[in-house]
């Protein structure tokens, strides 16, 4: 029995990767066909790319001069075509994560390119499993319920031709498959759930339902209800460009008033380094970030514990010149003998200076991109997307505007968000999203009423860049009794461009769990 393999190899050289695989196959004497998909790399077209449409579809910008890479997120059709032509192993250039699941499903079930509801269901299957154990109990809000982290089972989806599927995990493995955990993964790193944009289909996940299947070891859920519409005429492109250098120092500090000592140490190091910059004729830092981990600096005004006897100093800096950050790295060591008592060392030694590659997202017409498929080292097919007519670009219906839930009873009880909901957060560039899923359907209307845009924006205002328009947006997912909040400009640049200790907002959902919602009735009595 031959198991066919599809791999997203957008971070490597796909042709060289396929050639290396073919060499191994040949040495093993196996009659396997190795296919490779290319065309995602736009660097050869750099000279023809001038003014670009941004990912918001509205604004335009010029390509950064120091661009380092440019890759379009391809879809599932090239993978399907390779499998249709008998490929046993498919190596793709950059593609959306869900395409490695949707391509085989299109091949197996014969789904057509305009079977949009089916494509949305297959894409959802790929979306739920794309982060491995995150669908089987990993990073679950109720982590204490999840057994055997040392032997976590990865998710397995059993898909049907109607677009529904069963999600479980291999028997005898750790982890937990449940409605709450899979619902968390559904909202992970998405924006508007009614318009989840993919190259093959525009997905509407707002009415998806997830139900537990009883009697399955380790748990299983059935997922239904994805809807689909025509995709856009553009590929999303991720470019990266050079934007200076960064260095980060991490230093444990112990003893009484540890947080005060850590903060004064960091401020003194920065002041000392700036003085040396002046002597050497170097400009100031582009940016500096100081956090005292353990003193709840990330929580800003919501911090509760500020007087620990054991903290970790996080000090990160950005500069246009590598030389300047090498000076910064050298000036940290004197703190060990000339500043606060209890500084126990520099984790990893003197900080290393590394280049900063910032992401730059834009849209590129599909009709201008040629996607090639090779099997056995030979070009077998070329695809170029035809532009869809405006009549074909049917959009999901616009949801009704939120109306105040004035008919809900009030009370004198306060609940932490964790009492009522699960949460999970993630990132898209410099924006973060926080999904909130009600633990019981009866809790959902109260979350809608009390967990408003204004409440979430105030809670995270210290992390959102000042004067950001429409800083927080809320979307609803009635199918899973969920809300999704998108926080714009909230990650300090995001990814490697951010100097924060949480540059991808991984803990934002956890931070929301402690928020208290007041004036509620005794909700627990409703479900007992």
Kindly report, residue by residue over 308-357, the tens digit of the pLDDT: 899 999 999 999 999 999 999 999 999 988 999 999 999 989 999 999 98
In the prediction, which pLDDT does 388 show? 72
pLDDT tier at 394 (50, 70, 90 boundaries)? low
Checking if the pLDDT of 6 tops 60, the result is yes
pLDDT band at 237 (very low <50, low <70, confident <90, very high): very high
Contact indicator for 177, 219 with CB cutoff of 8 Å:
yes
* Residue 397 confidence (pLDDT) above 80: no
Q: Is the pLDDT of residue 369 over 70?
A: yes
pLDDT exceeds cutoff 70 at 421: yes
Side-by-side strand order, sheet with 202-204: 196-197, 202-204, 227-229
Strand 89-92 to 5-8 pairing:
parallel
Q: Model confidence over 264-282: pLDDT tens digits?
A: 999 999 999 999 999 999 9
Question: Alpha-carbon distance 227 to 202, whole Å?
Answer: 9
Judged by DSSP in three states, 11 sits in: coil
Q: Which of 455, 456, 438 is nearest to 447 (CA)?
A: 438
Q: Look at residue 11 in the predicted model and tell me its pLDDT.
A: 74
Query: What's residue 336's pLDDT?
Result: 87
Q: Mean pLDDT across the stretch 83-107?
A: 96
Contact 358, 243 (CB under 8 A): yes
Q: Using CA atoms, how far apart are residues 333 and 276, in angstroms rounded to an integer?
A: 15
Per-residue pLDDT at 403 exceeds 70: no
Calculate mean pLDDT across residues 362-378. 93
462: helix, coil or strand?
Answer: coil
Per DSSP, the residues of 158-187 read EE-TTS-EEEE--TT-B----HHHHHHHHH
Query: What pLDDT was estimated at residue 50?
Result: 80
pLDDT at 401: 57
CA distance 215 to 407: 39
Q: What pLDDT is recorded for position 460? A: 97
- pLDDT (0 to 100) of residue 39: 94
Q: Sign of the C-alpha dihedral, residues 316, 322, 323, 329?
A: positive
The C-alpha atoms of residue 303 and residue 462 are separated, in whole angstroms, by 12
Q: What is the pLDDT of residue 306?
A: 65
pLDDT confidence bin for 153, thresholds 50/70/90: very high
**Residue 364: is its pLDDT beyond 80?**
yes
Q: How far apart are CA 269 and CA 254, in angstroms?
A: 18
Q: How confident is the model at residue 307 (pLDDT cuts 50, 70, 90)?
A: low
Helix (H) or strand (E) holding 337: helix 335-338
Tokens at residue 151, please?
A: 């032997």
How far is the first Cα of the chain from the last one, in angstroms, to the nearest whole number?
51
Ramachandran quadrant class, 108 (left: phi over 0; alpha: psi -120 to 50; beta: rest): alpha
Instruction: Quote the pLDDT of residue 10.
Output: 77
Query: Which DSSP string corresponds to 12-81?
Result: S-HHHHHHHHHHHHHHTT----EEEEE--B-GGGGGG--EEEETTSS-EEEPPTTEEEEEE-B-SHHHHH
Rounded to the nearest 10 degrees, what angle do helices 322-330 and 258-280 cross at? 130
Alpha-carbon gap, residue 101 to 90, rounded angstroms: 12
Q: What is the number of residues in the chain? A: 528
Q: Phi-psi bin for 300: left (phi > 0), alpha (psi -120 to 50), beta? A: left
- What is the per-residue pLDDT for 406? 61
Pick from 1-10, 189-198, 267-276, 511-520: least confident:
1-10
pLDDT digit string, tens, across residues 467-514: 999 999 999 999 999 999 999 999 999 888 899 999 999 999 999 999
The percentage of residues in the chain with a pLDDT greater than 90, rounded to a whole number, is: 83
Convert the pLDDT of each residue in 424-437 to its tens digit: 999 988 999 999 99
Average pLDDT, the chain: 93
Q: What's the pLDDT at 229?
A: 96
Distance CA 434, CA 512 (A): 9
- Burial class of residue 461, CB neighbours in 10 A (0-12, 13-18, 19+): middle
Confidence class for position 127, pLDDT limits 50, 70, 90: very high
pLDDT at 77 over 90: yes
Tell me the pLDDT band of 389, cut-offs 50, 70 and 90: low
Decide if 314 contacts 292 (C-beta within 8 A): yes
The structure tokens listed for 462 are: 């210290």
- The model's pTM is 0.93
Rg value, the chain, Cα: 25
State the Cα–Cα distance between residues 372 and 376, nearest whole angstrom.
13
The structure tokens listed for 479 are 């199918």
Burial 422-457 (b: 16+ CB within 10 A, else e): bbbbbbbbbbbbbbbbbbeeebbebbbbbbbeebbb
Tokens of 363: 């849209």
Task: State yes or no: pLDDT of 59 exceeds 70.
Answer: yes
181 is written with which tokens?
A: 């955990």
Tokens coding 377? 């080292």
In angstroms, the CA 146 to CA 174 distance is 8
Residue 2 — pLDDT band, cuts 50, 70, 90?
Answer: confident
Q: Is the pLDDT of residue 303 over 90?
A: no
pLDDT digits (tens, 9 = 90+) for 33-49: 999 999 999 999 998 89
């Amino acid at each position: 029995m031959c198991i066919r393999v599809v791999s997203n190899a957008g971070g490597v050289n796909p042709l060289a990767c396929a050639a290396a695989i073919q060499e191994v196959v040949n040495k093993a004497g196996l009659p396997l066909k190795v296919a490779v998909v290319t065309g995602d790399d736009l660097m050869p077209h750099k000279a023809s790319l001038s003014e670009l449409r941004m990912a918001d579809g509205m604004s335009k910008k010029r390509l950064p001069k120091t661009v380092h890479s440019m890759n379009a997120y391809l879809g599932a059709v090239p993978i399907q075509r390779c499998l249709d032509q008998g490929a046993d192993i498919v190596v793709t250039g950059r593609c959306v994560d869900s395409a490695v699941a949707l391509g085989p499903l299109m091949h197996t079930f014969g789904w057509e390119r305009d079977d949009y509801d089916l494509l949305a269901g297959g894409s959802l299957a790929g979306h739920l499993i794309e982060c491995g154990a995150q669908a089987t109990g990993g990073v679950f809000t109720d982590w204490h319920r999840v057994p055997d982290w040392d032997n976590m089972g990865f998710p397995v989806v059993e898909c049907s031709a109607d677009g529904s599927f069963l999600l479980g995990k291999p028997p005898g493995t750790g982890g937990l498959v449940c409605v709450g955990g899979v619902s968390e993964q559904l909202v992970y790193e998405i924006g508007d759930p009614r318009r989840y944009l993919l190259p093959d289909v525009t997905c509407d996940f707002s009415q998806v339902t997830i139900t537990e299947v009883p009697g399955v070891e380790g748990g299983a859920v059935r997922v239904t209800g994805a809807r689909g519409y025509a995709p856009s005429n553009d590929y999303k492109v991720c470019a990266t460009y050079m934007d200076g250098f960064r260095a980060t120092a991490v230093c444990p500090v112990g003893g009484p008033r540890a947080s005060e000592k850590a903060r004064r140490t960091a401020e003194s190091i920065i002041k000392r380094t700036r003085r040396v910059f002046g002597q050497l004729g170097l400009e100031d830092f582009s940016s500096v970030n100081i956090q005292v981990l353990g003193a709840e600096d990330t929580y800003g005004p919501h911090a509760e514990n500020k007087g620990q006897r054991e903290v970790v100093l996080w000090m990160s800096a950005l500069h246009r010149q590598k030389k300047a950050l090498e000076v910064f790295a050298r000036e940290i060591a004197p703190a060990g003998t000339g500043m606060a008592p209890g500084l126990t060392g520099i984790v990893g030694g003197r900080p290393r200076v590394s280049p900063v590659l910032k992401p730059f997202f834009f849209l590129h017409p599909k009709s201008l991109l040629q996607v090639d498929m090779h099997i056995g080292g030979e070009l077998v097919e070329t695809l170029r997307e035809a532009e869809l007519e405006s009549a074909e670009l049917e959009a999901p219906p616009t949801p009704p505007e939120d109306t105040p839930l004035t008919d809900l009873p009030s009370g004198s009880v306060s609940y932490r968000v964790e009492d009522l909901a699960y949460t999970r957060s993630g990132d898209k560039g410099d924006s973060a999203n926080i999904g909130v899923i009600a633990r019981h359907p009866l809790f959902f209307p109260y979350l809608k009423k009390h967990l408003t845009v204004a409440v979430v924006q105030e809670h995270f205002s210290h992390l959102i860049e000042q004067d950001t328009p429409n800083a927080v947006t809320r979307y609803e997912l009635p199918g899973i009794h969920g809300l999704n909040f998108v926080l714009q400009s909230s990650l300090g640049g995001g990814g490697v461009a951010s100097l924060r200790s949480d540059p991808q907002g991984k803990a934002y959902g956890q931070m929301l769990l402690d928020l208290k919602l007041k004036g509620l009735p005794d909700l627990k009595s409703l479900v007992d």
